[in-house]
């Protein structure tokens, strides 16, 4: 892979002076290395694309550059001087502006008010200088497709593209020299995306340095001047797009990493246990749609099978899981359980039909933080820990909790311990216990090993295997491709709400590909072919 | 470690600080006024506090489930009026009681419908029904003079002496005991806790949060209706404005008892202690000859002080328990990782609670 790697330091194609230089930045959280030894150079008049899988370290890097996070190691140079940001304001004052994926605008304020929000121009000490602010915004806005009448409208009433433009204006109004764009095209329609690219090219012409985080590989060509790829929190390469194709970029993003040895044993166990399921269909979806995040999804899950769902963040995987759980109603489409059509109106009903979910965000969606482990487990079916269906039977409840604590290997002092005081992995096991207590026939795991340490990961895999080997069916949603590939019997890939492909799990029948080949295949399905071709006029701008 | 944690739990969670504060206040007034520790005074004090106690007990359910019910005061007043109206028009004792309780229950059901089924913010819905209830009471009292009935049976509801204790107290005690039992011993009560702790998690785990939410306002309204019946029996007349401000006293009592305004924590008896604290304070101030102009200020200040004491003790104890001193590393705030800040929700509740309480008690 090294032959086409270009060191940005030596690259000279018409770019301006270096504005930001990150040297060997590192960031560690307790138990997790978020970024390790990452270097990056941003030059005036250059669009620098930043690529990587979910969790590769892109957000952390943005956080360090924009001052919302502090590096543990390495240094950050702005205009050649070493800087240590303690808050985002310091970065802004040096002309570094960040446009986040989630909107950070005040929806009820006008465009002008938003542009100057918190940094209003004043006449004297107390009066706002409305006229000066308005004039400044007018100066900038025409070029970016905002009409004077738009400026007085509430930002919330503008479309997604114009909201992005407001963020750009916000940066320009204060002479931003570096603009960081975090997945700016998510939520935009194709023609709007096109417009945004033109705006980005315009910013480049003004001599602004852009750092552009994106998941869509096809967008990059013709617009980006340099591409930096991160993987597993590390810098992999900074390359010139000219020597690359989407395929070669996918290869850089996924890498050729081997399975972590600690999982081998667990997975080997699985291969022996494989095929014990009855092979009967358990769940079937037909053209399930919930606009805009789930579109026309049809799939089948078989008893004894683990179905993986791959896709980038925002592809609609969690939304699909919520529909199967009855938490959201589909607009159209049919759901069948064991061949019979069902209408699931709530998670309660889904639970009665044997469907349970281990949710994605442990803290906000699964744990009852201040309650005990026992209470966290029994909540999925309180009727089974009562006497005469009326009074809670604490002894029974605790007994059940203790048996799960033993069976699943939850490391806890006792069943009365508050669940927040457990480690992430043990919290997750307690949540799995909650689902198992409901006697499910289908378990959905949404990012089951997120924020879980390595040892606990293997144990959670074992729980999933035990469940399906006992005849259950499982759906696993994961952004970690190696995990998904080794865990799943089949993997379906989602992109923009649709199913776009299916791949067999590594080592499963019908899959002769190696892990890395499969991973590349999935990544290219998940991130490419968005039906968008970059406008030719922009390509000329690059050359 | 284990013993320390057990001690910590008792001190931090079980409303001990407010109970101690109550004892201190009682001790102070007993010394300051020779009339305080008399049977007559204690009986009066308790009889006057039963309405707050009942409303605070109902409010406990609402707060634990993560909601708020501002309508209980006007529900109490309206229920009292309806009870008297039925009795004055020749209704039987049972019909009068049933009508009063049903009025409260109906208000609770309407609140619950708008909040749980239509998903409208509880604060707004119950603020509106507070206003409508108070307005209805004004209309009603302008049409009819609710000056009372000559019904010994109805008066006996609160005033009859059983074992030297007024019947109203027995009734209150029974209701409080039943409510505490529902909260702590039944799946329904557990559901309220789960919903208040993490509504989304409870929902995804298969709890019927909508039905629980409906239930919580129904309970709160029914308790308010019952309090109204007792109030009518106690006063034997209803004036416009009856019950006004009771909701804030109830909230203040619950907060004093350490009920988290953001849900998930509390028990009925702790709110009852909070209500007793407020009643004792007001009675004691009167007996010690404090200028009534100062009552609100003293009450408000003591609420802030009591809550600060409660939370202060908790933070101290929990801080000691959850962060062993050996961990001396000062790295930034731990993100995404395993959660440790168990009490952060309750922290946030302090300013809100003290504000509303201080303003209105």
Which ipTM did the prediction report? 0.77
Higher pLDDT, A73 or A56: A73
**Res B75: pLDDT:** 95
Locus of tokens 């913010």: B121
- Find out whether the peptide bond into A234 is cis, omega within 30 degrees of 0: no
C-alpha dist (Å) from residue A161 to A167, A184, A293, B76: 10, 9, 19, 53
Chain B: closest CA distance from residue A234 (Å) = 20
C-alpha dist (Å) from residue A353 to A319, A343, A464, B11: 19, 11, 19, 44
> What is the per-residue DSSP string for A180-225?
EEESTTTT--HHHHHHHHHHHHHHHHTT-EEEEE-S-HHHHTTT-S
> What distance in Å separates the CA atoms of residue A378 and residue B191, rounded to the nearest whole number?
11
- For A80-84, the CB contacts below 8 A with 24+ separation are A80/A18, A80/A21
Among all residues of chain A, which has the CA nearest to that of B204? A347
**Res A2: pLDDT:** 40
> What distance in Å separates the CA atoms of residue B197 and residue B63, rounded to the nearest whole number?
11
Looking at A131-140, A181-190, A404-413, B309-318, which range is the least confident one? B309-318
**Res A444: pLDDT:** 94
Higher pLDDT, B339 or A307: A307
Nearest Cα to Cα of residue B6 among A395, A369, A417, A411: A417
Per DSSP, A346 falls in state S
> What distance in Å separates the CA atoms of residue B237 and residue A67, rounded to the nearest whole number?
66
Distance of CA A466 to the CA centre of its chain: 28
Using one digit for the tens of pLDDT, what is the confidence trace for A342-355?
Answer: 988 899 999 989 99
C-alpha dist (Å) from residue B178 to B59, B161, B174, B219: 15, 22, 6, 12
Choose the mutation target among B264, B320, B338 for the interface with A, i.e. most A CBs under 10 Å.
Answer: B338
> Using alpha carbons only, what angle is made at residue A234 by residues A233 and A235, rounded to the nearest 5 degrees?
135
Is there a contact between B190 and A382 if contact means CB atoms under 8 Å apart? yes
**Res A266: pLDDT:** 60
Both tokens of residue A444? 């959905």
Using one digit for the tens of pLDDT, what is the confidence trace for A93-129?
Answer: 888 888 876 667 888 888 888 888 877 888 887 888 8
Asked, for residue B254, whether it belongs to a domain, the answer is: yes
Chain B: closest CA distance from residue A419 (Å) = 9
Shortest CB distance from A392 goes to which of B190, B265, B338? B190
What confidence category does residue A11 fall into, taking pLDDT thresholds of 50, 70 and 90?
Answer: very low
Among all residues of chain B, which has the CA nearest to that of A326? B204
Higher pLDDT, B33 or B327: B33
**Res B51: pLDDT:** 93
Chain B: closest CA distance from residue A391 (Å) = 5
Shortest CB distance from B335 goes to which of A29, A367, A386? A29
Is there a contact between B197 and A69 if contact means CB atoms under 8 Å apart? no
Is there a contact between B205 and A30 if contact means CB atoms under 8 Å apart? no
Q: Parallel, antiparallel, or unpaired: how do β-strands A18-29 and A234-239 relate? A: unpaired
Q: Parallel, antiparallel, or unpaired: how do β-strands A306-310 and A473-477 relate? A: parallel
pLDDT-above-70 percentage for chain B: 82
pLDDT-above-90 percentage for chain B: 38
Q: Parallel, antiparallel, or unpaired: how do β-strands A340-342 and A332-337 relate? A: antiparallel
Residues in chain A within 8 Å Cβ distance of B338:
420, 422-424, 427, 451
What confidence category does residue B81 fall into, taking pLDDT thresholds of 50, 70 and 90?
Answer: very high
When pLDDT is averaged across residues A432-450 and rounded to a whole number, the result is 90
Helix (H) or strand (E) holding A79: none
What confidence category does residue A49 fall into, taking pLDDT thresholds of 50, 70 and 90?
Answer: very high
> What distance in Å separates the CA atoms of residue A230 and residue A39, rounded to the nearest whole number?
10
Among all residues of chain A, which has the CA nearest to that of B186? A391
When pLDDT is averaged across residues B238-259 and rounded to a whole number, the result is 87
* Cβ under 8 Å to A: B residues 150-189: 185-187
When pLDDT is averaged across residues A195-202 and rounded to a whole number, the result is 86
> What distance in Å separates the CA atoms of residue B178 and residue B316, rounded to the nearest whole number?
34
Nearest Cα to Cα of residue B256 among B7, B66, B20: B20
> What is the per-residue DSSP string for A144-183?
GT--GGGGGSBGGGS-HHHHHHHHHHHHHHTT-SEEEEES
**Res A268: pLDDT:** 58
A369 Cβ contact partners less than 8 Å away, ≥ 6 residues apart: A363, A418, A419, A420, B197, B198, B339, B342
Using one digit for the tens of pLDDT, what is the confidence trace for A79-97?
Answer: 888 888 888 888 888 888 8
Looking at A336-345, A533-542, B233-242, which range is the least confident one? A533-542
pLDDT-above-90 percentage for chain A: 18
**Res A8: pLDDT:** 43
When pLDDT is averaged across residues B335-345 and rounded to a whole number, the result is 37
Shortest CB distance from A29 goes to which of B201, B203, B334? B334
CB A299 within 8 A of CB A494: no
For residue B251, give the 3-state DSSP assignment.
helix
Helix (H) or strand (E) holding B356: helix B344-360
What confidence category does residue B222 fall into, taking pLDDT thresholds of 50, 70 and 90?
Answer: very high
Whether B225 has a pLDDT exceeding 90, the answer reads yes
For residue B279, give the 3-state DSSP assignment.
helix
Chain A: closest CA distance from residue B38 (Å) = 41
What confidence category does residue B334 fall into, taking pLDDT thresholds of 50, 70 and 90?
Answer: very low
What confidence category does residue B335 fall into, taking pLDDT thresholds of 50, 70 and 90?
Answer: very low
Residues in chain B within 8 Å Cβ distance of A391:
185-186
Is there a contact between A366 and B205 if contact means CB atoms under 8 Å apart? yes
> Using alpha carbons only, what angle is made at residue A197 by residues A196 and A198, rounded to the nearest 5 degrees?
90
> Using alpha carbons only, what angle is made at residue A170 by residues A169 and A174, rounded to the nearest 5 degrees?
100
Residues in chain B within 8 Å Cβ distance of A366:
201, 204-205
**Res A47: pLDDT:** 92
Asked, for residue B360, whether it belongs to a domain, the answer is: no
- Output the CA torsion B149→B166→B254→A375 (10° steps): -110
Both tokens of residue B269? 């008896």
Helix (H) or strand (E) holding A300: strand A294-302
Asked, for residue B349, whether it belongs to a domain, the answer is: no
Using one digit for the tens of pLDDT, what is the confidence trace for A261-292?
Answer: 445 556 655 654 455 455 788 899 999 999 88
**Res B103: pLDDT:** 95
C-alpha dist (Å) from residue A244 to A4, A221, A521, B334: 8, 9, 17, 38
> What distance in Å separates the CA atoms of residue A480 and residue A425, rounded to the nearest whole number?
16
Chain A CB within 8 Å of residue B24 CB? no
Chain A CB within 8 Å of residue B333 CB? no
Tell me which residue range forms the domain holding B272: 3-321
- For A507-515, the CB contacts below 8 A with 24+ separation are A507/A267, A507/A271, A515/A258, A515/A259, A515/A482, A515/A485, A515/A486
What confidence category does residue A401 fall into, taking pLDDT thresholds of 50, 70 and 90?
Answer: very high
Among all residues of chain A, which has the CA nearest to that of B207? A348
Asked, for residue B60, whether it belongs to a domain, the answer is: yes
- Provide the number of CB pairs (under 8 Å) joining chain A to chain B: 112
**Res B8: pLDDT:** 52
> What distance in Å separates the CA atoms of residue B42 and residue B283, rounded to the nearest whole number?
9
Q: Parallel, antiparallel, or unpaired: how do β-strands A473-477 and A490-495 relate? A: unpaired
What confidence category does residue A184 fall into, taking pLDDT thresholds of 50, 70 and 90?
Answer: confident
Using one digit for the tens of pLDDT, what is the confidence trace for A131-182?
Answer: 888 888 888 887 778 888 888 888 888 877 788 888 888 888 877 889 998 8
A397-418: string of b/e by CB count within 10 Å (b at 16+)?
Answer: bbebbbebbeebebebeebebb
Using one digit for the tens of pLDDT, what is the confidence trace for B261-295?
Answer: 788 888 899 999 999 998 898 888 888 877 888 88
**Res A533: pLDDT:** 34
**Res B112: pLDDT:** 94
CATH assignment at residue B177? 1.10.3470
CB A197 within 8 A of CB A534: yes
Asked, for residue B215, whether it belongs to a domain, the answer is: yes
Choose the mutation target among A34, A69, A347 for the interface with B, i.e. most B CBs under 10 Å.
Answer: A347
**Res B272: pLDDT:** 93
Chain B: closest CA distance from residue A143 (Å) = 40
CB B219 within 8 A of CB B61: yes
Q: Which residues pair with residue A491 across a beta bridge?
A: A308, A503
CB A303 within 8 A of CB A309: no
Chain A CB within 8 Å of residue B270 CB? no
**Res B37: pLDDT:** 81
Locus of tokens 């603009």: A179
Chain A CB within 8 Å of residue B338 CB? yes
Distance of CA A60 to the CA centre of its chain: 13
Is there a contact between B201 and A368 if contact means CB atoms under 8 Å apart? yes
> What distance in Å separates the CA atoms of residue B214 and residue A510, rounded to the nearest whole number?
53
Is there a contact between A365 and B204 if contact means CB atoms under 8 Å apart? yes
**Res B273: pLDDT:** 92
Chain A CB within 8 Å of residue B219 CB? no
Chain A CB within 8 Å of residue B284 CB? no
Looking at A149-163, A181-195, A379-393, which range is the least confident one? A181-195
Shortest CB distance from B338 goes to which of A348, A383, A427? A427
Greatest mean pLDDT among A300-304, A386-390, B340-344 lies in A300-304
What is the crossing angle of helices B209-235 and B72-88, to 10°? 50
What confidence category does residue B13 fall into, taking pLDDT thresholds of 50, 70 and 90?
Answer: low
Asked, for residue B309, whether it belongs to a domain, the answer is: yes
> What distance in Å separates the CA atoms of residue A339 and residue A319, rounded to the nearest whole number?
23
Is there a contact between A371 and B193 if contact means CB atoms under 8 Å apart? yes
Helix ranges (DSSP H) in B236-294: 246-256, 268-287
Shortest CB distance from B197 goes to which of A32, A369, A421? A369
| Dihedral pair phi/psi, residue A27, rounded to 5° | -150, 125
Looking at the 3D structure of chain B, how many domains does it have?
1
| Dihedral pair phi/psi, residue A192, rounded to 5° | -65, -40
Choose the mutation target among A54, A325, A370 for the interface with B, i.e. most B CBs under 10 Å.
Answer: A370
> What distance in Å separates the CA atoms of residue B56 and residue B249, rounded to the nearest whole number?
8
Using one digit for the tens of pLDDT, what is the confidence trace for A501-520?
Answer: 888 877 666 566 777 778 88
Chain A: closest CA distance from residue B302 (Å) = 28
Whether B325 has a pLDDT exceeding 70, the answer reads no
Using one digit for the tens of pLDDT, what is the confidence trace for B24-79?
Answer: 889 988 888 888 888 888 888 888 899 999 999 999 999 999 999 999 999 999 99
Asked, for residue B330, whether it belongs to a domain, the answer is: no
> What distance in Å separates the CA atoms of residue B183 and residue B189, rounded to the nearest whole number?
4
Chain A CB within 8 Å of residue B327 CB? no
> What distance in Å separates the CA atoms of residue A252 and residue A240, rounded to the nearest whole number?
13
Asked, for residue B269, whether it belongs to a domain, the answer is: yes
Is there a contact between B332 and A70 if contact means CB atoms under 8 Å apart? yes
Nearest Cα to Cα of residue A364 among A285, A450, A236: A450
Looking at A532-541, B44-53, B221-230, which range is the least confident one? A532-541
Using one digit for the tens of pLDDT, what is the confidence trace for A59-71?
Answer: 889 889 988 888 8
Whether A218 has a pLDDT exceeding 80, the answer reads no
Residues in chain B within 8 Å Cβ distance of A421:
322, 340, 342
Among all residues of chain A, which has the CA nearest to that of B13? A370
Whether A535 has a pLDDT exceeding 50, the answer reads no
């Amino acid at each position: 892979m090294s032959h086409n790697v270009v060191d940005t330091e030596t690259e000279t194609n018409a770019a301006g002076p270096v504005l930001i230089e990150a040297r060997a930045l590192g960031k560690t959280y307790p138990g997790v290395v978020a970024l390790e030894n990452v270097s990056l150079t941003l030059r005036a008049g250059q669009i620098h694309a930043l690529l990587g899988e979910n969790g590769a370290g892109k957000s952390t890097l943005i956080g360090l550059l924009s001052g919302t996070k502090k590096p543990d190691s390495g240094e950050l140079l702005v205009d050649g001087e070493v800087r240590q940001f303690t808050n985002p304001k310091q970065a802004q004052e040096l002309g570094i502006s960040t446009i986040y994926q989630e909107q950070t605008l005040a929806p009820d304020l006008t465009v002008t008010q938003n542009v100057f929000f918190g940094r209003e121009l004043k006449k004297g000490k107390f009066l706002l200088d409305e006229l000066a602010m308005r004039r400044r915004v007018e100066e900038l806005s025409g070029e970016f497709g905002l009409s004077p009448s738009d400026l007085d409208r509430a930002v919330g009433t503008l479309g997604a593209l114009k909201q992005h433009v407001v963020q750009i204006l916000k940066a320009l109004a204060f002479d931003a020299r570096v603009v960081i764009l975090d997945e700016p095209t998510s939520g935009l329609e194709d023609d709007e995306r096109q417009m945004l690219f033109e705006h980005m090219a315009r910013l480049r012409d003004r001599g602004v340095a852009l750092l552009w985080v994106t998941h869509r590989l096809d967008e990059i060509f013709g617009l980006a001047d340099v591409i930096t790829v991160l993987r597993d929190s590390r810098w992999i390469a900074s390359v010139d797009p000219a020597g690359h194709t989407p395929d070669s970029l996918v290869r850089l993003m996924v890498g050729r990493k081997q399975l972590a040895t600690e999982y081998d044993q667990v997975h080997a166990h699985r291969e022996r246990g494989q095929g014990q399921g009855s092979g009967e269909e358990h769940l079937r979806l037909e053209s399930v749609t919930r606009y805009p995040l789930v579109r026309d999804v049809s799939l089948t899950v078989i008893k004894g099978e683990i179905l993986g769902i791959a896709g980038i963040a925002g592809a609609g995987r969690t939304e699909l899981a919520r529909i199967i759980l009855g938490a959201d109603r589909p607009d159209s489409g049919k759901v069948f359980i064991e061949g019979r059509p069902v209408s699931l109106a709530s998670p309660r009903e889904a639970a009665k039909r044997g469907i349970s979910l281990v949710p994605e965000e442990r803290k906000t969606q699964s744990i009852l933080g201040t309650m005990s482990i026992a209470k966290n487990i029994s909540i999925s079916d309180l009727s089974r820990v009562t006497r005469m269906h009326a009074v809670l039977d604490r002894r029974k409840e605790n007994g059940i909790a203790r048996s799960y604590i033993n069976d699943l290997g939850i490391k806890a002092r006792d069943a009365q311990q508050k669940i927040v005081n457990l480690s992430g992995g043990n919290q997750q096991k307690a949540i799995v216990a909650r689902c198992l207590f409901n006697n499910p026939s289908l378990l959905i795991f949404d990012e089951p090993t997120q924020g879980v340490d390595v040892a606990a990961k293997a144990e959670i895999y074992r729980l999933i295997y035990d469940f399906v080997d006992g005849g259950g069916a499982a759906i696993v949603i994961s952004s970690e491709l190696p995990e998904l590939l080794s865990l799943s019997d089949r993997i379906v890939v989602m992109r923009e709400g649709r199913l776009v492909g299916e791949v067999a799990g590594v080592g499963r029948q019908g899959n002769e590909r190696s892990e890395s080949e499969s991973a590349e295949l999935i990544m290219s399905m998940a991130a490419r072919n968005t039906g968008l071709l970059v406008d030719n006029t922009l390509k000329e701008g690059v050359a | 470690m284990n013993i320390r944690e057990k001690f910590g739990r008792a001190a931090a969670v079980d409303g001990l600080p407010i109970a101690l504060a109550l004892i201190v206040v009682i001790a102070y007034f007993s010394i300051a006024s020779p009339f305080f520790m008399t049977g007559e005074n204690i009986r009066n004090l308790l009889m006057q506090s039963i309405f707050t106690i009942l409303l605070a007990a109902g409010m406990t359910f609402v707060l634990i489930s993560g909601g708020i019910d501002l309508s209980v005061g006007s529900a109490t007043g309206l229920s009292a009026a309806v009870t008297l109206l039925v009795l004055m028009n020749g209704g039987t004792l049972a019909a009068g009681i049933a009508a009063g309780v049903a009025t409260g229950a109906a208000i609770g059901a309407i609140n619950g419908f708008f909040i749980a089924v239509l998903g409208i913010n509880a604060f707004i819905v119950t603020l509106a029904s507070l206003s409508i209830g108070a307005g209805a009471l004004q209309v009603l009292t302008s049409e009819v003079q609710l000056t009372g009935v000559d019904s010994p049976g109805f008066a006996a509801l609160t005033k009859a002496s059983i074992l030297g204790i007024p019947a109203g107290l027995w009734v209150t005690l029974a209701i409080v005991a039943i409510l505490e039992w529902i909260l702590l011993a039944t799946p329904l009560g557990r559901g309220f806790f789960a919903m208040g702790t993490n509504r989304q998690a409870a929902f995804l785990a298969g709890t019927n949060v909508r039905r629980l939410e409906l239930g919580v306002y129904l309970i709160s309204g029914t308790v308010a209706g019952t309090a109204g019946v007792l109030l009518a029996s106690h006063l034997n007349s209803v004036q416009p404005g009856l019950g006004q401000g009771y909701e804030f006293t109830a909230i203040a009592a619950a907060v004093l008892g350490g009920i988290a305004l953001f849900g998930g924590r509390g028990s009925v008896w702790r709110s009852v202690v909070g209500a007793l604290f407020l009643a004792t304070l007001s009675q004691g101030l009167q007996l010690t000859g404090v200028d009534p102009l100062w009552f609100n200020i003293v009450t408000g200040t003591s609420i802030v002080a009591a809550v600060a004491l409660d939370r202060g003790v908790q933070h101290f104890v929990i801080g000691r328990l959850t962060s062993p001193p050996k961990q001396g590393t000062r790295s930034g705030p731990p993100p995404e990782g395993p959660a440790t800040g168990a009490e952060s929700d309750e922290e946030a509740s302090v300013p809100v609670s003290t504000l509303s309480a201080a303003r209105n008690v």
